Amino acid sequence: MPFPIEVLVAAWFVTLVAGMLQGTVGFGFAVLSVPILTILDPALTPIPQLLMAFPVALTMAMRERSDLDLHGAGWIIAGRVPGAVIGALLLSAVTESTLNIIIALVVLAAVAALASGLQVKLNPATKFSAGVVSGITGTTSAVGGPPVALLYRSAKGGTLRASLGVIFSIGVVINVTTLTVARQIHWSDVTTALLLFPAAAVGLWLSRFLTGKVEGEPLRRAILVVAALAAVGLVVRTWAG
């Protein structure tokens, strides 16, 4: 689908910044890009961001693979399988606007709880549960990062980014496969993703100069802020739609 040049330039800029955010904080690509691009042109979202998320996440995982939490990633990925199935079923049974509002409320409640001092233990049960929720939100809204990032918010930056990279890489494959079977992905989504991906790649490359400046408490705060923005973005998307 052709886009006016001014829309395309704006979409490239937003995608570049989103790539920088993803590479720095560990998630946030769809959080930032989807709401803004939806306002620019609904045809730009959300499936193209889901398709671009695979190479972006895989690159992020490879860049900091030495810090990967492989055991934790396995439990979360296992949870994303049933989560993706549930998400696909919800897409065919519930309106997207209703899903967006529900997801926004859940994310905001989680952010508020963690900001107040709630501690969530990293164990197989919490990792699997976060994977299920991430699978649902990733499939229905292309925003699968907040549930997992909130779980890992106390981990060091390299572990967060590498683990999320692996989780998102495999999770996106699961989500795309599920959506393809459900006939929710169209050729126009693929061409739009190819059109915007160079900007995402540049943003991811630029993020390597920022990761060292965001560690410890600044990273934990950034995770809460980006997760809250994800919730607000879903509301904006619903309003724009």
The DSSP annotation for 137-149 comes to HHHHHS--HHHHH
Question: What was the pLDDT predicted at 206?
Answer: 96
CA 120 distance to own-chain centroid: 20
Task: Dump pLDDT digits (tens) for 6-37.
Answer: 999 999 999 999 999 999 999 888 878 887 88
Average pLDDT, the chain: 88
Check pLDDT > 90 for residue 172.
no
Residue range of the domain that includes 167: 5-240
Q: How confident is the model at residue 241 (pLDDT cuts 50, 70, 90)?
A: low
Q: How confident is the model at residue 183 (pLDDT cuts 50, 70, 90)?
A: confident
Give CA–CA dist 83/132, Å, rounded. 4
Question: What was the pLDDT predicted at 120?
Answer: 84
For residues 64-68, give the mean pLDDT: 92
Question: What was the pLDDT predicted at 23?
Answer: 94
For residues 70-86, give the mean pLDDT: 89
> Distance between the two ends of the chain, CA-based, in angstroms?
19
Task: Dump pLDDT digits (tens) for 191-238.
Answer: 999 999 999 999 999 999 998 888 888 888 899 998 898 888 778 767
Check pLDDT > 70 for residue 240.
no
Question: What was the pLDDT predicted at 55?
Answer: 94
Question: What was the pLDDT predicted at 167?
Answer: 87
Give CA–CA dist 138/83, Å, rounded. 9
Residue 202 class from Cβ within 10 Å (0-12 exposed, 13-18 middle, 19+ buried)? middle
Select the more confidently predicted residue: 55 or 229: 55
Select the more confidently predicted residue: 91 or 133: 133
Q: Are 64 and 158 in contact (CB under 8 A)?
A: yes
Q: How many CA atoms, within 13 angstroms, populate the side-chain half-sphere of residue 221?
A: 5
Domains identified in the chain, total number: 1
Check pLDDT > 90 for residue 87.
no
Radius of gyration of the chain (CA): 16
**ω before 4 within 30° of 0 (cis)?**
no
Check pLDDT > 70 for residue 1.
no
For residues 116-128, give the mean pLDDT: 88
